[in-house]
Structure 1
Amino acid sequence: MTTKRDTVMLVDGMALLFRGFFATAFRGNFMETSNGIPTNGVYQFMRYFLDATDKFSPTHVICCWDMGSKTFRTDLYEPYKANRSAPPEKLVPQFDLAKEVVEAFDIPNIGLENFEADDCMGTLARQYAEDHDVLILTGDQDILQLVDDGIRVAIMRKGIGNYEIFEQQTFVEQKGIRPEQIVDLKGLMGDTSDNYPGVRGIGEKTALKLIQDYESIDQVLEHMDKLPKGVQKKVQENMEMLHLSRQLAEIKCDVSVGCTLEDALWQYDKNAVEEKFAELEFGNLIKLVN
């Protein structure tokens, strides 16, 4: 009889909070406590979070966060993510508030200056996947490059309780390439949401075909003479940006973060959580905590 492996759930805190804020703000539902503290993002964050813990039944949970907009990627390429506007005023106080609610569940909040939450999740996922099953909860497709033996990704879709699960066995069927090829794909096509161009004039369709035909950017460059003249020209004219875009796309899995699984055990003091929910006037959420 095989024993069931533990499941470590890594939560992309920023992805859940932003998604929660905009989902409720869109409907004009700006919740505030009687003291005037905005809470709509944190409230929806918790709804997503509790739905996921209920659905995936993790044994351990860790929440990862970005630590500001300046990272080694902005050092490499100043316009990286520069297209994003500042967070709405009502969201700003909710960053710390969300972390406080996570702490009330006795879950570690992990983040590292100069790196993104993705890099923390990548590093922790690789560490834990040796002996445990890892599930990453996010809304961000960049994370798909981490799918591996023992590492699944749950991409949140519209609404609550809708997830698209990606795992190694079915990945090629879903995306047409292997997880590790996502980095090369993005090197070629760039990423408009992260604001780096890849090879100008090469879109997703062409980039996907190139990776399917030649496996990697290195192989594409090795077989330049076989490429259509138009593609050759675009690649040659954007060679520096091609390599830089690939570097920006790659999640670092060797940053200096760590967390003992003992600290991440999904086991909380119900009274502490109820107290925090009461303080934030989240009466409706208390019944979701068992």
Structure 2
Amino acid sequence: MHNQTLLLIDGFNLLSRGYFATSYGRTEEELQKNSKGVYTNALTIFFQKMLNLVNEYQVTHLAVAWDVKREETKRRIDYDFYKATRSELPAPLIQQYEICKNVLDNINIEQLITPPYEADDAIGTVSSKWSSETNGHCYIYSNDRDLFQLLNENVSQVIAGKKGDIVYTINHFREDYSIEPNKWVDVKALLGDKSDNIPGCPGIGEKSALPLIQHYGSLERVYDHVEELDKKFNRCKKKLVEGKETAFISKQLAQIICDIPSLKEINFDKLKLNVLNEKFLSELEDLELRIRMVHINVF
């Protein structure tokens, strides 16, 4: 499978960023709607970005991964505090999510929804299968840095920045952090994650978490040596001892699952870009979305 490129889009990451970027400082009444009163501010950004990415990276295979309801996730079932601090999503965003899923269905784009697993896990399973079974590259489109743990020679992450997208590769990661991507979860285990309400090891912050993993190689090895820590980590010892339980729970929560049974057998032909061009245009027209169409050979 030479010259084949897979794009995995973190659906909610793109749709919600589009929504909040265009709703900032506006009431729901002021948001972009079409003549039927359907909200379209996030949909416009979603489909334009999807087209641009397919064009830019000469994508041959595509899937959009969606999260399942928070209370239905395996992590939430195991630990009820997981993501418990997140507020409810605005109604116009939920409406556009439902429409987005319908349009993708109608134009033949594969969607990954695999309860009780989350979008990250679906992306992890499919990207690792792709990189082990094909010679093609995989691009993950998301601003979620948890996904750094999935980077390898054949998997890169496209991150939106103020000056445009950055293609973040395994080499960038190694330069920035001096560890391997699969050790990122160990750093997250110590740091925690406020947005997901993952506690980490209380008192261990940015200045200590990464150096500890660089020095010892993993969370387990940090704790193997906790009684005789290198003296530069003396101030961490008490916090590490007191936070051991939450650190290990946090590692479990931060670890992306890369072996979802239902996706382990996925046939990549299902992900082949086979978009029905006329159907796509009519869907966009029906929603009155102003999208700049780009010429894509596979359409």
Percent identity reads: 32
- How far, CA to CA, are the matches of 2:292 and 2:45 in structure 1? 13
Is residue 150 from structure 1 mapped to residue 151 from structure 2 by the alignment? no
- How far, CA to CA, are the matches of 1:158 and 1:52 in structure 2? 17
The match for 1:247 is: 252
The match for 1:265 is: 272
Give how far 1:286 is off: 5.5
Asked if 2 retains the 8 angstrom alpha-carbon contact of 1:62 and 1:108, the reply is yes
Is residue 285 from structure 1 mapped to residue 294 from structure 2 by the alignment? no
Q: For 1:226, which of 224, 229, 236 is the aligned residue?
A: 229
Q: Which amino acid letter does the alignment assign opposite residue 67 of structure 2?
A: D
The equivalences for 1:49-198 within 5 A come to 49-70=50-71, 71-130=73-132, 131=134, 132-158=136-162, 162-198=164-200
- SS of the aligned residue for 1:163 comes to strand
Q: Name the count of aligned residue pairs.
A: 285
The match for 1:22 is: 20
Asked if 2 retains the 8 angstrom alpha-carbon contact of 1:274 and 1:286, the reply is no
The match for 2:49 is: 48
- SS of the aligned residue for 1:61 comes to strand
The match for 1:274 is: 281
Q: Which amino acid letter does the alignment assign opposite residue 291 of structure 2?
A: L
- How far, CA to CA, are the matches of 1:175 and 1:267 in structure 2? 39
The match for 2:214 is: 212
- How far, CA to CA, are the matches of 1:140 and 1:106 in structure 2? 26
Residue 96 and residue 139 in structure 1: after superposition, are their counterparts in 2 closer, same or farther (change >3 A)? Answer: same
Give how far 1:274 is off: 0.7
Once structures 1 and 2 are overlaid, which stretch shifts more, 11-20 or 230-239? 230-239
**1:161-216, Cα deviation, whole Å (9 max, x unpaired):** x2222222342113332211110000011111111111100011210111111111
Asked if 1 retains the 8 angstrom alpha-carbon contact of 2:51 and 2:293, the reply is no
**1:108-143, Cα deviation, whole Å (9 max, x unpaired):** 111111110000010111111121321111111111
- How far, CA to CA, are the matches of 1:195 and 1:248 in structure 2? 10
Asked if 2 retains the 8 angstrom alpha-carbon contact of 1:139 and 1:156, the reply is yes
Once structures 1 and 2 are overlaid, which stretch shifts more, 146-155 or 236-245? 146-155
Asked if 2 retains the 8 angstrom alpha-carbon contact of 1:124 and 1:257, the reply is no
Residue 174 and residue 163 in structure 1: after superposition, are their counterparts in 2 closer, same or farther (change >3 A)? Answer: farther
- SS of the aligned residue for 2:198 comes to coil
Residue 248 and residue 270 in structure 1: after superposition, are their counterparts in 2 closer, same or farther (change >3 A)? Answer: same
Asked if 1 retains the 8 angstrom alpha-carbon contact of 2:6 and 2:139, the reply is yes
Q: Which amino acid letter does the alignment assign opposite residue 64 of structure 1?
A: A
Give how far 1:98 is off: 1.1
Q: Which amino acid letter does the alignment assign opposite residue 278 of structure 1?
A: E
Q: Which amino acid letter does the alignment assign opposite residue 287 of structure 1?
A: M
- What is the root-mean-square deviation in Å for CA atoms of aligned residues? 1.7
- How far, CA to CA, are the matches of 1:145 and 1:16 in structure 2? 20
Give how far 1:78 is off: 1.3
Q: For 1:256, which of 247, 252, 261 is the aligned residue?
A: 261
Residue 208 and residue 85 in structure 1: after superposition, are their counterparts in 2 closer, same or farther (change >3 A)? Answer: same
**1:57-86, Cα deviation, whole Å (9 max, x unpaired):** 111101110111121111222111111110
Give how far 1:289 is off: 5.8
- How far, CA to CA, are the matches of 1:170 and 1:15 in structure 2? 22
Give how far 1:42 is off: 1.2
For structure 2, the 5+ residue unaligned runs are none
